[in-house]
Structure 1
Amino acid sequence: MALVERRDDAGLCTLTLNRPEALNALSPSLFVELRAHVEALHKQTDDIGAVILCGAGRSFCAGNDLRAIQDGDVAPTENYQSDTVDLIENLPQPVICAVQGHCYTGGLELALAADLIVAGSSARFSDTHGKWGMTPKWGMSRRLPERVGMQRAKEMMFSARVIGAEEAVSIGLAMECVDDERLLDHVTAMAEGFLENSWHTLRGDKMLVNQGQNHGHWGALEFERRNSPGRGPDLEERLKAFGKG
């Protein structure tokens, strides 16, 4: 059984964490499969225009699988997991993370690598590093403040408290909340809407916004002027279609 299932449909790739019996806890073996899919997606910009990341069963991801590590399941390199999360953030395609149930610690770090987080009504978010005497290595200290602000991120990290779906939306951690029963259909429709636009523009927008964060205000404007990919190969076709009404 695959620990990460991939399904492609008309330019949309859905990656599903597939350890529902373990609440999709992130074992090193799961990361190896996830990494292979993500590396492939980096090379498939002509075939895949958007990506959904989700979890099978009642939870998105309960976090790092400490039991698997205790049982001898070891990642190939020291920073393998954090490098994989970085690769997800740097995918050329827009990535939507659909979260139901648990989204704890390593699972939260994984979700934060997505461009958008959509919460199901059952979603519960928490950074539980403090409960175990651990500190983050997969990007929490950077990506969580970027998403919710410095003060809110520190409160979440210091308290290790659980945040429900509605609060997650109110603080900017999730973009919106929908009923669990509609979650995957909702994010699929959202992604399909993105795919109706130019994939060239989708990739360019993501690159400019993400990399622009590495500069100050004026530096980001200069970066955009220098690095905007410009007109896409589908411009003429789209203009002709517009002209035909």
Structure 2
Amino acid sequence: MANQNVPLRVTREGGIVLIELTRPEIRNPLNNELKQAMDSLVRSLEGDRELTGVILTGTGGVFSGGGDVKAMSRERASGEYNGAEDYIARMRHSHGWLRILRELPVPVIAAVDGPCVGAGFSIALLCDFVLVTPRAKFAASFCKIGLAPDLGLFYTLPRAVGQQRAREIFYTGRLIGAEEALRLGLALEIVPEDELLTRAWGIARQMEQSSPVAFALTKQISARALESDFETLLAQELQAQSILLASRYNGEAVDRFAAKEPPRFNFK
């Protein structure tokens, strides 16, 4: 699927989909071509009942350099985007597929090698887990070109590192290396470059070993945990657990446990 106009390569093994950004020579920019490709791909995954995991990564030692600044300059000069109304439409388009990616009822793993800045940083933090190599570098570099953070970073970054540290990262646009990313909670693990995808596939496969419904409900509730009060979370817990206790998956799992039989995963 990778060519000059569709800068993605998609590989599927069973229910796990690997998405690779394939233009490292220009830092895998989130240009219009990539956004259109992501929109089509993510929407196709939304209703995929066989999907069990998604891995998102870049090739050539680059995750993503964020927005295509050279394209922005060309668009401004040509008049292709000629006012706030044009930019609002473009941002709303991106928000559409970003919401779907964030809410997929399966684990979504960002495997970050090299630069992950600007909008690339935003997309990585929308994932459930972020694995990094020692040469990974993050930055909310929007301020350096007179922009505000976008693609959900105002939501995800303060929840990952706290409000004060998020503001420092927003205001300075400085680089954050792999060790600091791990310390701040931006990354789950640091993995050698040649083991990054192996580890990502391993996590995705490990998480196939559970009830799809239980995983989906757990992800849905935990995604809203930080902005919900205690009573709201108790109500959501009650609803989810009632559904799951009545499920065939739980019934079989409990019976096998009681009979001292090994668990049988991927029961539908």
Quick check: TM above 0.5?
yes
Structure 1 residues 92-101 or 80-89, which shifts more? 80-89
Distance in 2 of aligned mates of 1:159 and 1:183: 29
Q: Which residues of structure 2 form unaligned runs of 5+? A: 82-86, 263-268
Change in CA separation of 1:233 and 1:55 when aligned onto 2, cut-off 3 Å = farther
**Residue in structure 1 matching 2:9, options 5, 14, 18:** 5
Take 1:56 and 1:211, find their aligned partners in 2: how far apart are those partners?
Answer: 32
Q: CA–CA distance in 2 between the matches of 1:194 and 1:57?
A: 27
Partner of 1:109: 122
- Structure 2 CA distance for aligned equivalents of residues 28 and 141 of structure 1: 22
Going from structure 1 to structure 2, the CA distance change for 1:239 and 1:208 (only over 3 Å counts) comes to same
1:59 aligned residue: 62
How many residues are aligned here?
Answer: 244
Give the equivalent residue in structure 2 for 1:230.
244
Query: For residues 176 and 150 of structure 2, what CA distance do their matches in structure 1 show?
Result: 21
CA shift, 1:172, in A, is 0.4
CA contact (8 A) 2:115 2:138 kept: yes
Unaligned runs of 5+ in 1: none
- 8 Å Cα contact 1:86-1:113 kept in structure 2: no
Q: Does 1:206 align with 2:219?
A: yes
Using the TM superposition, give the Cα deviation of residue 175 of structure 1 relative to its aligned residue in structure 2, in angstroms.
Answer: 1.0
Kept in 2, the 8 Å contact 1:28–1:69? The answer is no
Report which stretch shifted further, 138-147 or 205-214.
205-214
Residue aligning to 1:187: 200
- For residue 151 of structure 1, report the CA deviation from its aligned partner: 1.2
Answering whether residue 40 of structure 2 is matched by residue 36 of structure 1, we say yes
Q: Does the 8 Å CA contact 1:60/1:100 hold for their aligned counterparts?
A: yes
Q: Which residue does the alignment assign to 2:108?
A: 95
TM-score (norm 1): 0.91
Verify the 8 A CA contact 2:29 2:65 in the aligned structure 1.
yes
Range that drifts further, 198-207 or 181-190:
198-207
Indicate the percent of aligned positions where both proteins have the same amino acid: 27
Pick the structure with more helix per residue: 2
TM-score, structure 2 as length reference:
0.84
Helix, strand or coil at the partner of 2:238: helix
Instruction: Check if 1:216 corresponds to 2:229.
Output: yes
1:225, CA displacement in angstroms?
1.5
Amino acid aligned to 1:43: G
Counterpart CA distance in 2 for 1:82 and 1:137 is 10
Distance in 1, matches of 2:126 and 2:160, equals 10
Q: State the superposition RMSD in angstroms.
A: 2.0
1:133-212 alignment to 2 at 5 Å? 133-212=146-225
Q: 3-state DSSP class of the match of 2:151? A: coil
Query: 1:69 Cα deviation (Å)?
Result: 3.3
Q: 1:70 aligns with which of 69, 73, 95?
A: 73
1:88 corresponds to which letter in structure 2? L
> Quick one: distance in 2 between partners of 1:240 and 1:17?
45
Query: Secondary structure at 2:109's aligned position in 1?
Result: strand
Structure number, greater radius of gyration: 2
Name the amino acid aligned to 1:79.
R
Deviates more, 1:214-223 or 1:129-138: 214-223
The 8 Å contact of residues 50 and 93 in structure 1, kept in 2 or not, is answered as yes
Q: Residues 7 and 21 of structure 2 are in contact (CA less than 8 Å); yes or no, is this contact kept in structure 1?
A: yes
